Amino acid sequence: MLNFNSVLYKILGNRIKNRREDLKINQTDLGEKVGIGRSSITNIENGRQKPPLSIIYKICRELDIDVHTILPTYGEVEEIINSDNDKSSLKPYYEKYGLDENLQREIDNLFNKNTDAI
């Protein structure tokens, strides 16, 4: 199951990468312009690094876009999370035993806590 922050930063990173590639700017040049390394740009684009807002604003300035155009809405993030939840390996069991949505969420959260620790 996906969590909100991981989905949020993955969408943000994809949008940054797409814009950078559209402008034909390489990661090294973008990193230098905003004061971070190429590997940080790579990690941001892959959703592995969660940049502070100041860096997001600097990246947007260099990519000549408004920050609002790359930030996903709450609904966009939730939609991806919900579509992933629908693919839960436990879903057949939930349906078989008629578990309500709250109990399903609790079970999924339990499994996520345990898998996040791995």
Residue closest to 31 by CA, chosen among 10, 49, 4, 6: 49
Model pTM score:
0.71
Q: Which residues contact 45 (CB under 8 A, 6 or more apart)?
A: 13, 14, 16, 17, 20, 27
Q: What is the pLDDT of residues 69-85, one digit of tens each?
A: 999 999 999 988 887 65
Q: Is the separation of the CB atoms in 67 and 57 below 8 Å?
A: yes
The predicted pLDDT at position 51 comes to 97
Homologous superfamily assigned to 4-70: lambda repressor-like DNA-binding domains (1.10.260.40)
Q: Is the separation of the CB atoms in 72 and 12 below 8 Å?
A: yes
Structure-model confidence comparison of residues 92 and 16, the more confident one? 16
Report residue 109's pLDDT band, with 50, 70 and 90 as the boundaries: confident
- Would you list the domain boundaries of the chain? 4-70, 88-118
Q: What is the pLDDT of residues 4-62, one digit of tens each?
A: 999 999 999 999 999 999 999 999 999 999 999 999 999 999 999 999 999 999 999 99
Reported as type and span, the H/E element at residue 61 is: helix 53-62
